[in-house]
Amino acid sequence: MSAPLLIVGSYVSPYVRKVLVCLESKGLAYEIDPIVPFFGDDDFARLSPLRQVPVLVDGDLVLNDSTVICQYLEERYPTPALYPTDLGQRAQARWLEEFADTRMGQVIIWQLFNQLVIRRAVWGKEPDQALLARTYEQDLPAIFDYLEGQLPESGWLFGAPSMAEISLACFIRNAQFARYQLDAARWPRLAGSMARTLELPAFARLAAFELICTHTPIAQQREALRQAGAPISSRSFGRAEPVPGVMGRD
Protein backbone atom coordinates (compact mmCIF):
# COMPACT_ATOMS: atom_id res chain seq x y z
CA MET A 1 0.00 0.00 0.00
CA SER A 2 1.44 3.38 -1.00
CA ALA A 3 2.12 6.05 1.59
CA PRO A 4 -0.39 8.89 1.92
CA LEU A 5 0.32 12.06 -0.01
CA LEU A 6 1.95 14.81 2.06
CA ILE A 7 0.74 18.40 1.91
CA VAL A 8 2.88 21.12 3.46
CA GLY A 9 1.04 24.30 4.35
CA SER A 10 -1.48 25.87 6.71
CA TYR A 11 -5.20 25.10 6.62
CA VAL A 12 -5.81 28.87 6.50
CA SER A 13 -3.99 29.38 3.19
CA PRO A 14 -6.47 29.59 0.27
CA TYR A 15 -3.93 27.87 -1.96
CA VAL A 16 -3.53 24.99 0.48
CA ARG A 17 -7.31 24.88 0.91
CA LYS A 18 -7.76 24.47 -2.85
CA VAL A 19 -5.51 21.40 -2.86
CA LEU A 20 -7.15 19.95 0.26
CA VAL A 21 -10.63 20.37 -1.26
CA CYS A 22 -9.36 18.56 -4.35
CA LEU A 23 -8.00 15.71 -2.21
CA GLU A 24 -11.15 15.53 -0.08
CA SER A 25 -13.40 15.59 -3.15
CA LYS A 26 -11.49 12.69 -4.70
CA GLY A 27 -11.35 10.70 -1.45
CA LEU A 28 -7.54 10.55 -1.42
CA ALA A 29 -5.52 9.72 1.70
CA TYR A 30 -3.12 12.46 2.77
CA GLU A 31 -1.19 13.85 5.70
CA ILE A 32 -0.55 17.52 6.34
CA ASP A 33 2.30 19.49 7.88
CA PRO A 34 0.25 22.62 8.68
CA ILE A 35 3.02 25.20 8.79
CA VAL A 36 2.70 28.89 8.05
CA PRO A 37 5.29 29.43 5.27
CA PHE A 38 7.10 32.21 7.17
CA PHE A 39 7.97 29.55 9.76
CA GLY A 40 9.44 27.06 7.27
CA ASP A 41 12.90 25.69 8.05
CA ASP A 42 15.84 25.15 5.68
CA ASP A 43 14.45 21.82 4.49
CA PHE A 44 11.19 23.58 3.64
CA ALA A 45 13.16 26.12 1.59
CA ARG A 46 14.69 23.25 -0.38
CA LEU A 47 11.21 21.84 -1.08
CA SER A 48 9.76 25.27 -1.88
CA PRO A 49 12.38 27.63 -3.35
CA LEU A 50 9.92 30.55 -3.17
CA ARG A 51 9.06 29.64 0.45
CA GLN A 52 5.40 29.37 -0.52
CA VAL A 53 2.69 26.81 0.17
CA PRO A 54 1.29 24.36 -0.71
CA VAL A 55 3.91 21.74 -1.40
CA LEU A 56 2.86 18.23 -2.46
CA VAL A 57 5.19 15.32 -1.75
CA ASP A 58 4.19 12.10 -3.52
CA GLY A 59 7.01 9.63 -2.96
CA ASP A 60 10.04 11.10 -4.72
CA LEU A 61 7.93 13.69 -6.54
CA VAL A 62 7.77 17.21 -5.11
CA LEU A 63 5.40 19.75 -6.63
CA ASN A 64 4.84 23.44 -5.91
CA ASP A 65 1.97 25.75 -6.84
CA SER A 66 -1.67 24.90 -6.14
CA THR A 67 -2.71 24.88 -9.81
CA VAL A 68 0.11 22.55 -10.82
CA ILE A 69 -0.76 20.26 -7.91
CA CYS A 70 -4.51 20.20 -8.63
CA GLN A 71 -3.98 19.47 -12.31
CA TYR A 72 -1.58 16.66 -11.38
CA LEU A 73 -4.19 15.18 -9.03
CA GLU A 74 -6.90 15.56 -11.68
CA GLU A 75 -4.87 13.68 -14.26
CA ARG A 76 -3.70 10.97 -11.89
CA TYR A 77 -7.06 10.55 -10.13
CA PRO A 78 -9.65 11.64 -12.71
CA THR A 79 -12.79 10.64 -10.77
CA PRO A 80 -14.72 12.65 -9.80
CA ALA A 81 -13.68 15.22 -12.38
CA LEU A 82 -13.13 18.76 -11.09
CA TYR A 83 -12.43 20.28 -14.50
CA PRO A 84 -14.99 20.18 -17.37
CA THR A 85 -14.32 17.79 -20.24
CA ASP A 86 -15.38 20.31 -22.91
CA LEU A 87 -12.27 22.09 -24.16
CA GLY A 88 -13.74 25.61 -24.03
CA GLN A 89 -15.30 25.11 -20.62
CA ARG A 90 -12.06 23.66 -19.26
CA ALA A 91 -10.19 26.73 -20.48
CA GLN A 92 -12.81 28.97 -18.85
CA ALA A 93 -12.47 27.09 -15.56
CA ARG A 94 -8.70 27.46 -15.68
CA TRP A 95 -9.05 31.18 -16.34
CA LEU A 96 -11.28 31.67 -13.29
CA GLU A 97 -8.82 29.60 -11.26
CA GLU A 98 -6.01 31.87 -12.46
CA PHE A 99 -8.07 35.00 -11.73
CA ALA A 100 -8.64 33.73 -8.20
CA ASP A 101 -5.00 32.84 -7.58
CA THR A 102 -3.64 36.13 -8.93
CA ARG A 103 -6.08 39.03 -8.62
CA MET A 104 -8.09 37.73 -5.67
CA GLY A 105 -4.86 36.56 -4.08
CA GLN A 106 -3.36 40.03 -4.35
CA VAL A 107 -6.39 41.85 -2.97
CA ILE A 108 -7.95 39.41 -0.51
CA ILE A 109 -4.75 37.90 0.84
CA TRP A 110 -2.14 40.65 0.68
CA GLN A 111 -4.36 43.72 0.97
CA LEU A 112 -7.02 42.37 3.35
CA PHE A 113 -6.12 39.14 5.18
CA ASN A 114 -2.43 40.01 5.44
CA GLN A 115 -3.18 43.47 6.79
CA LEU A 116 -5.76 42.38 9.37
CA VAL A 117 -4.51 38.92 10.35
CA ILE A 118 -0.96 37.99 9.26
CA ARG A 119 0.76 41.29 10.04
CA ARG A 120 -0.58 41.23 13.58
CA ALA A 121 -0.16 37.51 14.30
CA VAL A 122 3.28 37.01 12.71
CA TRP A 123 5.01 40.40 12.66
CA GLY A 124 3.22 42.40 15.38
CA LYS A 125 2.45 45.23 12.95
CA GLU A 126 -0.71 47.30 12.62
CA PRO A 127 -2.58 47.43 9.29
CA ASP A 128 -2.14 50.12 6.65
CA GLN A 129 -5.46 51.97 6.91
CA ALA A 130 -5.07 53.75 3.55
CA LEU A 131 -4.50 50.43 1.81
CA LEU A 132 -7.50 48.90 3.56
CA ALA A 133 -9.70 51.82 2.50
CA ARG A 134 -8.72 51.35 -1.15
CA THR A 135 -9.28 47.62 -0.82
CA TYR A 136 -12.82 48.02 0.55
CA GLU A 137 -13.85 50.91 -1.69
CA GLN A 138 -12.23 50.05 -5.03
CA ASP A 139 -10.45 46.73 -5.42
CA LEU A 140 -12.92 44.29 -3.86
CA PRO A 141 -15.97 45.81 -5.60
CA ALA A 142 -14.18 45.66 -8.97
CA ILE A 143 -13.38 41.97 -8.47
CA PHE A 144 -16.91 41.12 -7.40
CA ASP A 145 -18.50 43.14 -10.20
CA TYR A 146 -16.49 41.10 -12.70
CA LEU A 147 -17.35 37.76 -11.11
CA GLU A 148 -21.04 38.65 -10.89
CA GLY A 149 -21.09 38.73 -14.69
CA GLN A 150 -19.36 35.35 -15.01
CA LEU A 151 -21.57 33.16 -12.82
CA PRO A 152 -25.07 31.73 -13.39
CA GLU A 153 -28.17 32.83 -11.50
CA SER A 154 -28.40 29.35 -9.93
CA GLY A 155 -26.66 26.01 -10.06
CA TRP A 156 -23.09 25.30 -11.15
CA LEU A 157 -21.19 27.06 -13.89
CA PHE A 158 -20.51 23.80 -15.77
CA GLY A 159 -23.34 21.65 -14.40
CA ALA A 160 -21.35 20.26 -11.43
CA PRO A 161 -18.90 21.67 -8.87
CA SER A 162 -15.64 22.55 -10.60
CA MET A 163 -12.26 24.00 -9.82
CA ALA A 164 -13.61 27.36 -11.00
CA GLU A 165 -16.05 27.71 -8.09
CA ILE A 166 -13.69 25.94 -5.69
CA SER A 167 -10.86 28.37 -6.43
CA LEU A 168 -13.07 31.44 -6.00
CA ALA A 169 -14.57 30.12 -2.76
CA CYS A 170 -11.14 29.45 -1.27
CA PHE A 171 -10.44 33.20 -1.30
CA ILE A 172 -13.93 34.19 -0.18
CA ARG A 173 -13.30 31.99 2.86
CA ASN A 174 -10.24 34.08 3.76
CA ALA A 175 -12.25 37.27 3.29
CA GLN A 176 -14.68 35.86 5.84
CA PHE A 177 -11.80 35.24 8.26
CA ALA A 178 -10.96 38.94 7.85
CA ARG A 179 -14.61 39.75 8.79
CA TYR A 180 -15.68 40.67 5.26
CA GLN A 181 -19.08 39.48 4.04
CA LEU A 182 -20.32 39.62 0.46
CA ASP A 183 -23.26 41.95 -0.12
CA ALA A 184 -25.82 39.48 -1.48
CA ALA A 185 -28.09 42.29 -2.66
CA ARG A 186 -25.30 43.82 -4.77
CA TRP A 187 -23.73 40.55 -5.97
CA PRO A 188 -26.52 37.91 -5.76
CA ARG A 189 -25.03 35.48 -8.30
CA LEU A 190 -21.61 35.52 -6.68
CA ALA A 191 -23.02 35.28 -3.15
CA GLY A 192 -25.26 32.35 -4.11
CA SER A 193 -22.48 30.51 -5.93
CA MET A 194 -20.05 30.94 -3.05
CA ALA A 195 -22.63 29.82 -0.47
CA ARG A 196 -23.32 26.64 -2.48
CA THR A 197 -19.63 25.93 -2.89
CA LEU A 198 -18.70 26.48 0.75
CA GLU A 199 -21.46 24.06 1.73
CA LEU A 200 -19.83 21.22 -0.22
CA PRO A 201 -18.76 18.31 2.04
CA ALA A 202 -15.08 18.85 1.23
CA PHE A 203 -15.17 22.43 2.52
CA ALA A 204 -17.26 21.41 5.52
CA ARG A 205 -14.72 18.75 6.56
CA LEU A 206 -11.94 21.36 6.59
CA ALA A 207 -13.87 24.08 8.42
CA ALA A 208 -13.23 22.83 11.96
CA PHE A 209 -9.47 22.65 11.38
CA GLU A 210 -9.46 26.13 9.85
CA LEU A 211 -11.21 27.55 12.91
CA ILE A 212 -8.63 25.96 15.19
CA CYS A 213 -5.89 27.73 13.23
CA THR A 214 -7.65 31.09 13.42
CA HIS A 215 -8.20 30.79 17.18
CA THR A 216 -4.90 29.20 18.27
CA PRO A 217 -1.40 30.75 18.50
CA ILE A 218 0.81 29.52 15.68
CA ALA A 219 3.18 27.65 18.01
CA GLN A 220 0.29 25.62 19.43
CA GLN A 221 -1.62 24.89 16.22
CA ARG A 222 0.03 21.60 15.30
CA GLU A 223 -0.84 19.89 18.58
CA ALA A 224 -4.32 21.42 18.70
CA LEU A 225 -5.01 20.11 15.19
CA ARG A 226 -3.68 16.67 16.08
CA GLN A 227 -5.98 16.48 19.10
CA ALA A 228 -8.92 17.50 16.89
CA GLY A 229 -8.27 14.57 14.55
CA ALA A 230 -6.46 16.30 11.68
CA PRO A 231 -4.20 13.96 9.65
CA ILE A 232 -0.98 15.53 10.95
CA SER A 233 2.31 14.26 9.53
CA SER A 234 5.00 12.80 11.79
CA ARG A 235 7.63 15.16 10.36
CA SER A 236 7.37 18.94 10.37
CA PHE A 237 9.27 21.45 8.24
CA GLY A 238 8.53 24.23 10.74
CA ARG A 239 10.84 26.39 12.81
CA ALA A 240 10.29 28.53 15.91
CA GLU A 241 10.92 31.99 14.47
CA PRO A 242 9.48 33.49 11.25
CA VAL A 243 11.56 34.61 8.28
CA PRO A 244 10.29 36.77 5.37
CA GLY A 245 9.49 35.09 2.07
CA VAL A 246 11.77 35.54 -0.91
CA MET A 247 9.00 37.53 -2.61
CA GLY A 248 9.58 40.33 -0.09
CA ARG A 249 6.23 39.97 1.66
CA ASP A 250 5.61 40.43 5.37
Q: Which domains are present in the chain?
A: 5-81+208-227 (3.40.30.10), 87-198 (1.20.1050.10)
7 confidence band (pLDDT: 50, 70, 90)? very high
Question: What is the share, in percent, of the chain residues with pLDDT greater than 70?
Answer: 97
Length of the chain (residues): 250
User: At residue 61, does pLDDT exceed 50?
Assistant: yes
Q: What is the model's pLDDT at position 1?
A: 55
Q: What is the mean pLDDT of residues 43-55?
A: 95
Output the average pLDDT for the chain.
Answer: 94
203, containing H or E segment: helix 201-215
User: At residue 250, does pLDDT exceed 90?
Assistant: no
Q: Comparing C-alpha atoms, which of 107, 108, 105, 42 is closest to residue 243? A: 42
245 confidence band (pLDDT: 50, 70, 90)? low
Q: What is the mean pLDDT of residues 209-238?
A: 96
Q: What is the mean pLDDT of residues 148-159?
A: 97
Cα(182)–Cα(84) distance, integer angstroms = 27
- Residue 89 has phi, psi (to 5 degrees) of -65, -40
Q: What is the mean pLDDT of residues 219-239?
A: 97
Sheet holding 61-64, edge to edge: 30-33, 5-8, 55-58, 61-64
Tell me the one-letter amino acid at 143: I
